[in-house]
Structure formats: structure tokens, C-alpha cells
Amino acid sequence: MLFSPSLCRLVVYPPPPAKGGITITEDDLNCLEEGEFLNDVIIDFYLRYLVCEQQEKEDASKYHVFSSFFFKHLTQKDHRRLPGTTDLSYVIQERRHSRVKTWTRGVNLFEKDFIFVPINQMSHWYLAVICFPGKISQTSGLDLHLDGRRYSVEYLCNQSPPNPMSLFYSPESSKQHYHSSHLFSVNPRYLQEEWKVKMGSEQSFGNGVMDGWSPIVPKQDNYTDCGIFLLQYVESFLKDPPQTFHHNMDLNGWFSQRTVKRKRRQIKRLILRLHRQKQV
């Protein structure tokens, strides 16, 4: 049987015997060329790499990265007939969660500090970060340990007790409001169902419990680099986590356009290096 060179498998990451390895082919590598959109394989690979390789083991357990397909499965339309009930939102909420409930098998999201959710809608990439989903009712002033440093997360909105929050990062200014509004309604409902399954009790993540903010971040200056920006958002978050969380978070100085312009070449070199190591 003949195989097209474009389908040549370059590397599986993480390699066996690790489970859930992501297979990267030459076709996937081609989307790292300038002017190309990143595909889901490259997004999933590099996010997995960042958490597995660039974080100390004790810190890596504080993070969870969802597959780029998670949000799509969570929010896909359900064509099944709805029952005759007045609380349709509750039924929809349960059905959404049932589609992805196995995605967290063996994982308790409420033990994580940060959960990264890559989102692809209308051919563009966005990033959601769910912060402190298990911090439901504690005193104001939350001490965290990241990268061996101790810092206090400040809640600047009326000095309220620490609550879960959802941050929405968009490389495109023009589409931020629509997508962030949709996201801020979906995430709390998902967490509410997940809490019920994992913790065995009811817990609201609605208004007043889970805030939703869109930080000021560097934006793309072209049409095709949204995926690169998503990856850089996560990389910068892991290397330099925000010291404070509030409505007007300004992270515009997180990284430069020059840093983003180099990212395609860096990821390509990384994949080829892993490929060479596999050959040895």
C-alpha cells in the first residue's frame, strides 16, 4: 500500500507508553507556514507540551488543558426533542454536560487553579481560562504557589471573597464582545453540572459567584495568527501568571509582536527535534 508523503507521521506526543498521544503529520507541519491557520493538532500538541514540559511537576498538577474539541462538543446543537417542561434551560444544561462528562474522567477540575479551554468558532481561535473553580467560599485574600513563588490574588471589585472566574482572551477586538458573552453563560452552567457529578451536591456558579472578564491583551495584526496568539497567551500565562485579577486587567505588555512572529518557526523546530529524537 502506498502512503502520501503529506500523511507521513512525524511524531506522537507525548510518546508511548503515555496515553492520549497526539499524532503530528507533515500536513500538520505545513500549517505552521506563514499565512496559514493553525489546525487543532498543532494547538493541542503545543498546549500539551507547555504543561508537560515547561512546568515543574508539582505545579503542572494545578493546570488542566482541554482538547480543542471540548468546547465544540459542549455547545453543539442538540436535535433531540425537548420534554414538556417549563425549565428547558436545565434540560439543555444537563444534555450539554452529558456529551462531555467522560472528558474529565480521573480529573477533578475543582482541585485545579487554572483550566485552559481553546475555542475555535467561525475559523478563529480564542482562549478561555477558568480560574480557581474550587474556591467557592473562602476569605478574601487567596495565597497561591506557582513557580515556587508565593503571591496573593487581590480581588479588587468591592473586596469580595475569592470566587471562580472566567477570563476570555481574544486576538480580535471586533469579535470579543459577542463571543465573551456566550462563553460567560456556558462555562458556569458546565461547572454547575460538573460539581454535581464530582462533588455530589448542588453549587451555583451563576451571577455573583463566577465573574467573567476580558483582559486587555496583545492583538493580532493580520487574519491568520489567531492560533499563534492563543498559544502565546497560554505560554505567557504559565511563565508569568497575572498577579491580580480584576475587571480592567491590562496584560498588553505580556509579550511583543516580535515574540509572536517567531512562534511558528519555534514550534516547527520543536516538532522536528522531537522527530529526530524518535529516530535515534
DSSP 82: P
246 Cβ contact list (under 8 Å, min separation 6) = 154, 155, 156, 157, 213
Total number of domains in the chain? 1
Query: What is the average pLDDT across 96-122?
Result: 92
CB atoms near residue 220 (< 10 Å): 19
Cell of 186: 456556558
| Per-residue pLDDT band at 157 (split at 50, 70, 90) | very low
Amino acid identity of residue 212, one-letter, is G
Report whether pLDDT(169) > 80: yes
221-270 pLDDT, tens digit per residue, is: 888 999 999 999 999 999 887 777 777 788 888 999 999 999 999 999 99
The mean pLDDT of the chain is 81
pLDDT on residue 54: 67
Long-range contacts of 75-84 (CB under 8 A, 24+ apart): 75/186
Query: What is the average pLDDT across 200-210?
Result: 83
45-91 pLDDT, tens digit per residue, is: 999 999 887 666 667 788 999 999 999 999 887 666 555 555 556 67
Q: CATH number of the domain that 169 lies in?
A: 3.40.395.10
Residue given cell 502506498 in the structure block: 2
Q: Which domain holds residue 240?
A: 5-279
Report whether pLDDT(153) > 70: no
